[in-house]
Structure 1
Amino acid sequence: MTCRHQNVVAIREVVVGDTLTQVFVAMDFIEHDLKSLLTAMPSPFLHSEIKTLMLQLLSAVYHCHSCWILHRDLKTSNILMNNRGIIKVADFGLARRYGDPVGVGGMTQLVVTLWYRAPEILLGASTYSTAVDIWSVGCIFAELLLKEPLFQAKTEIELLGMIQELLGPSTNSLLSESSLSSPGRSMNFSSSHPRRLQQRLDHLAGSATDLIRSLLTYNPRKRVRADEALEHPYFNESPLPKHPDLFGSFPSAAAGEKRRKPFYSPVAPTRAADYRLLD
């Protein structure tokens, strides 16, 4: 309710029943979640559509961080999308105010679904910041481009190895500088496939790869902020972001709809700047 924004799911009201255990939150109905949609849609999102989705996601994350809220569980299944090309960040069950003390729902380490978890959390950092959400945004961006999750690990150790495959080996000085790890935990181990993940990104445009690298940076202090990412050249290059009204519509399984032909609105596309810092 604090993060009121057009790309954050809206809460209509909280209804209380006869007992304290009967509490119901009434929210807007959104037709899809992005994870299910990526699996079911007949063809992947176009690059122009991915840019629009990312602009909306970054705008929502920037707004939440401006309200001193960490989401702490950003992933494709927690991003909803309606049939008008608008996404809504949802599921704030793990969200906390930035700086909440440990012991009252503050900075615990068991946060963020594994595939989207930042290295500082994996390495047991005692404190962390808005950068953990930015790492998750980078994983989501890569998933939209690659048509599959970037890090499909089963364990934290396996995930750390996959991160090293993508970003290269970390150094003790980097870990010390960025407060990535707690005493006794390190990230100094080798990978048997040092360039496998790197090769998966080689076919992307240089600006897209640059944006991914700025989102997926070891050091959280050097990781790009949401407002900085919104200004990245990637969003101003061809193809330009598609206006949400020009997205195709998809049948909603939640609403019991059947597949139908895409509907396109005659509204003309707008500039990428139209999506920046929306509030």
Structure 2
Amino acid sequence: MEKYEILNTTIERGSSSCVFKAHNHDTNETVALKRIYFLEKNEGVPSSAIREVSFLKEMDHSNVIRLLDVVDNDKALHLVLEYMDLDLKKFMASSPDIAKNQQVIKSLMHQLLDGLAYCHSQKILHRDLKPQNLLIDCKSILKLADFGSAREIGVPLHRYTEGEMVASLWYMAPELLLGSRKYSTPVDIWSAGCVFAEMVIQQPLFTGYTELTQVIKIFSIMGKPNEETWPGVTLICDFLDAFVRNEPQNLAELVLGLEPAGVDLLSKMLCMNPEGRITASEALEHPYFDDILESPVNINFRT
């Protein structure tokens, strides 16, 4: 750790980790230093940290955060990551006028989907896509970060344990909220669609405060699914019949200002049936991106 000088800036603080801005004296670079604390003495490295290191060491893409170094000591594990100026949530809050620019949204969404398509091609589910885990630098480059909840896609698909927390509630796919224990890449697409809508309207689209109220909020906007619109849905949720039947709302009226092609892409990303949801690779070819600028928009945000 001697070559890293922690600056007096805490980028992010969580229950078991902190991210600091730091200086690498050997390379003269600014880096992000993620300090992951050991929860109990002699417990060793948390499994989430092992997963994050394992995945990041294997990935190499311009829209995925780079792992530069790993330093271990008796009290914590330190991940040395490339430094990014701020996350998408802070960007939207600090520069709302810039964040609502349609070309900025288009550029950032294309980069998000490009990084996500790469992860999926490497058989990796991110499982926790949200604005706080999407980082942006001063050159308008977006990168996927925080792979502590990521999982490798199994063949056949793994059945994850009940109660396993994946994704923050407002960005969680309906199949997870309804209790499905068998899922795949569509869960990331749903989360990305929620981020897309939030960039347009500058606030989250689905805002429940429990898993049940989140499901109700989604149904109130997207409509209550049935066996015709989502074959097998009644088999993954015992209390589905208790939900009030709602007809889907017009997305164009909820994401005002988004061009028709964007509304069409959003509707394909927020398809209730995961089998019908667009893939990241398909989304990159959607007409919404036909007029995207060749290089990222210079956003000149305030940090």
What is the TM-score of this pair, normalised by structure 1? 0.79
Residue identity over aligned pairs, in percent, reads 36
Structure 1 runs (4+) deviating above 6 angstroms are 191-194
> Retained in 2: the 8 A contact 1:178–1:219?
no
2:222 — aligned with what?
167
Q: Deviations over 1:103-134 (max 9, x none)?
A: 7xx78642110000000000001200000000
Which structure's residues are more often strand, by fraction? 2
Q: Compute the displacement of 1:203 (Å).
A: 4.9
Q: Distance in 2 between matches of 1:80 and 1:55?
A: 14
Query: Does residue 225 of structure 1 match 2:279?
Result: yes
Alignment gaps of 5+ in structure 2: 1-56
Q: Which amino acid aligns with 2:173?
A: A
1:89 — aligned with what?
144
Q: Distance in 2 between matches of 1:35 and 1:180?
A: 35
1:257 — aligned with what?
none
Larger relative contact order (Cα-Cα within 8 Å, sequence gap ≥ 6): 1
> Retained in 2: the 8 A contact 1:171–1:188?
no
Alignment of 1:1-279 (within 5 A): 1-17=57-73, 19=74, 21-43=75-97, 44-99=99-154, 101-102=158-159, 109-175=164-230, 177-178=231-232, 182=236, 184-186=238-240, 189-190=243-244, 195=249, 199-201=253-255, 203-237=257-291, 240-241=292-293, 243-244=295-296, 246-252=297-303
Q: Which amino acid aligns with 1:32?
A: L
Q: Deviations over 1:128-159 (max 9, x none)?
A: 00000000010000011111111122122222
Q: Deviations over 1:213-248 (max 9, x none)?
A: 1000111111000000000011114xx33722x413
**1:90 to 1:41, Cα distance in 2 relative to 1, 3 A:** same
Q: What is the aligned residue count?
A: 244
> Retained in 2: the 8 A contact 1:101–1:107?
no
> Retained in 1: the 8 A contact 2:64–2:144?
yes
Alignment gaps of 5+ in structure 1: 253-279
Q: Distance in 2 between matches of 1:69 and 1:178?
A: 25
